[in-house]
A and B are shown apart, each in its own frame.
Chain A
């Protein structure tokens, strides 16, 4: 596809607008950015609308624009687990997150690992949780960079240079504005992405009269649009496991902790599901590509770009591309911020410099934003490593799921001790890693267990070990300690 000068101008204007607005974030609602909670979680000032954009900006990224149609294109109905797991996540968010938020607010916690540290009075367990989070963040940031690379290549830019420039910008606005930068950037990002998806929807809806013919073409040609029977257990466990693991992502906790009150979080679990509409239609766009045979090469990640190139003029394609660029920059910035928080609070402050003043914590945080982005950049550029991203990505949800007892269950089971939780985590983590080696990282569904999702197998082992260890701990009459008060566990402001 060829682009005109006008197309390029539109592209740059949109990307530039996001960058400018994100930089302005530093001045927005005047704050003392040398305070760690002001910089890293926006001082817990964010109301419903910003939290909606912030969390939505984080969950529904440019990656969904490529991977959901790609998934539908290659595996039919299995990809619909993405629309199901939201319905698990949001009520779970409603029920669980306010409790975590209120504890975090009282003690000025910034990461999930901060909570684990205080709850179990154990810096080792907190470190394990922080490292699990970091391991999960790295491939995610790298993936955003790959999204950017893809677009720049398609637009015939010198890839390596433009790519490095794009990421210097992301690093710069995260460093300057902290959470305020991406919070504002995500507003524009979502406006653009909503605009693109709704436009594509309306055009294709008219063209294919409500998509009915698309489904029937596929059905009569013998390509299934349903969930393959063989993968039913995989579908159920993926939806359930990812739905629960979702809340454990460090970058989502950043959005939750940045809220002004527990009520804001509850309201958002009602409002955020609107984004799920995207996922359903994106899956159908993938089926359009399959039914109309738009991707002769069969490369599934080309499904959505091919739909755009076939049915839309170049100017619209360019707008969509700019959407993918900013849809990658904003989440990358949020994820780098969440990782930097983990490193600063749970590694640097805890193990290297207990008495670091807040201004120093912000400085360290800023340094690690750059380090994380640079590490992911290397990941994305080095070809050997960029193959690894997708392996790590299948692991990240499964690994994060193993921190469920430490972060969530411990808020309800108040006697749960650090030894049982730690042993459970280790067992779950080992099982997940073994399972992924067993299938050579090709998928997160394990054939030996009837294509069950590896994260759920890990969680089952995790909980079994936890219960056995707990029985032993109780029989030894060990008394666990905590820095929290019994009255801290509340569900209302």
Chain B
């Protein structure tokens, strides 16, 4: 019973990190990040925001790989 409970928590954590966070931040927040200002290094906020997410998303997936699924890299 307690094992199932732990497994369920892990599943919820995994779903949140892998799906809910990127979905909200990138898809449903689109009306919020679709703006020109503030600019970063001349880039409109829209472009800069999506650009840094290209790097954030693999990091989140790596965290799940390493610490939730506890898989070895090599």
- Once the chains bind, are A95 and B26 in contact (CB under 8 Å)? no
- Once the chains bind, are A271 and B36 in contact (CB under 8 Å)? no
Across the interface, name the chain A residue whose C-beta is closest to B29. A236
Complex Cα distance, B60 from A84, in Å, reads: 15
Complex Cα distance, B26 from A280, in Å, reads: 14
- Once the chains bind, are A226 and B42 in contact (CB under 8 Å)? no
Cross-chain contact of B42 among A211, A273, A491 (Cβ < 8 A): A211
Number of interface residues of A (CB under 8 A): 43
- Once the chains bind, are A95 and B28 in contact (CB under 8 Å)? no
- Once the chains bind, are B61 and A227 in contact (CB under 8 Å)? no
Cross-chain contact of A91 among B19, B31, B41, B73 (Cβ < 8 A): B19
In the complex, identify which listed stretch (A212-220, A322-330, A366-374) lies at the interface while the others stay far away.
Answer: A212-220
- Once the chains bind, are B27 and A88 in contact (CB under 8 Å)? yes
Cross-chain contact of B30 among A227, A263, A269 (Cβ < 8 A): A227
Q: In the complex where A80-B46, A266-B71 touch, is A210 in contact with B41 (Cβ < 8 A)?
A: yes
- Once the chains bind, are A88 and B62 in contact (CB under 8 Å)? no
- Once the chains bind, are A280 and B65 in contact (CB under 8 Å)? no
- Once the chains bind, are B42 and A212 in contact (CB under 8 Å)? yes
Cross-chain contact of B46 among A226, A243, A276 (Cβ < 8 A): A226
For A269, list chain B residues within 8 Å (CB): 61
Asked if A90 CB lies within 8 Å of chain B CBs, one says yes
Number of interface residues of B (CB under 8 A): 36
User: Chain B's nearest CB lies how many Å from the CB of A432?
Assistant: 20
Q: In the complex where A280-B50, A280-B54 touch, is A215 in contact with B34 (Cβ < 8 A)?
A: no
- Once the chains bind, are B47 and A94 in contact (CB under 8 Å)? no
- Once the chains bind, are B46 and A227 in contact (CB under 8 Å)? yes
For A270, list chain B residues within 8 Å (CB): 58, 61-62, 65
Complex Cα distance, B47 from A213, in Å, reads: 14
Complex Cα distance, B15 from A209, in Å, reads: 41
Q: In the complex where A80-B46, A212-B43, A266-B71 touch, is A239 in contact with B14 (Cβ < 8 A)?
A: no
Cross-chain contact of A216 among B23, B35, B42 (Cβ < 8 A): B42
User: Chain A's nearest CB lies how many Å from the CB of B43?
Assistant: 7
Cross-chain contact of A94 among B31, B34, B64 (Cβ < 8 A): B64
Complex Cα distance, B64 from A216, in Å, reads: 39
Asked if A464 CB lies within 8 Å of chain B CBs, one says no
- Once the chains bind, are A236 and B27 in contact (CB under 8 Å)? yes
Starting from the known contacts A84-B30, A280-B54, 14 additional A-B residue pairs (CB-CB under 8 Å) come to: A84-B27, A87-B53, A88-B23, A91-B60, A91-B61, A95-B14, A209-B42, A215-B39, A215-B42, A215-B43, A219-B44, A239-B30, A266-B69, A270-B61
28 intermolecular pairs with C-beta atoms under 8 Å apart: A84-B26, A84-B50, A86-B57, A87-B53, A88-B23, A88-B26, A90-B58, A91-B22, A91-B57, A91-B60, A210-B41, A210-B42, A211-B42, A215-B47, A219-B36, A226-B46, A236-B27, A239-B26, A240-B27, A243-B27, A263-B71, A267-B65, A267-B73, A270-B65, A271-B58, A273-B57, A280-B50, A280-B54
Give residues in B with beta carbon < 8 Å to A. Answer: 14-15, 17-19, 22-23, 26-28, 30-31, 34-36, 39, 41-44, 46-47, 50-51, 53-54, 57-58, 60-62, 64-65, 69, 71, 73
